[in-house]
Structure 1
Amino acid sequence: MVRSGFVESVHFGSAVGLAPDGTTVVARGRVGAPVLPRSSAKPFQALGCLLSGADLHGPRLAIAAGSHTGEDFHVRLVAEMLGEAGLGFDALGCPVDWPEDEATRHGLIRNGLPASRERMNCSGKHAAMLTASVASGWAVDSYLDAAHPVQRRIQAVVEELSGEKTAHVAIDGCGAPLFGLSLTGLARAVQGLVRAEPGSAPRAVADAMREYPEYVGGTGHVNTSLMRALPGALAKGGAEGVLVVALATGHAAAVKVIDGSPRATTAIALAVLRAAGGDVAAAAGFTTVPVLGGGLPVGEIHVLEEK
Structure 2
Amino acid sequence: MSDDLPVLGYRLKQIDERVLRHPADRAATAALKTIPGVNTVARKLIELGYERALRQSLLASSVRLSLHQLPEVYDRHRSAYTILDIPKTPELYLAAFPVANASTIGSQDPLVLVNSSLLDQLDADQQRVVFAHEAAHVLSDHVLYGTVLQILLNMGGGMLGRTLPTALPLMAVQNALLEWSRAAELTCDRIAALVVRDPLLVCRTLMSISAGTAASRLDLGAFLAQADDYGKASRSLPGRWTRMNLEMSTTHPLSVRRAHELMDWVKGGDYERIRDGEYPRRGEEDPDVKAEAKAAAEHYKERFQGAFKDVVGQAEDATKSVSDWLQKNLG
Q: If the length of structure 2 is used for normalisation, what is the TM-score?
A: 0.25
Q: If the length of structure 1 is used for normalisation, what is the TM-score?
A: 0.26
Structure with the higher fraction of residues in helix conformation: 2
Larger Rg: 2
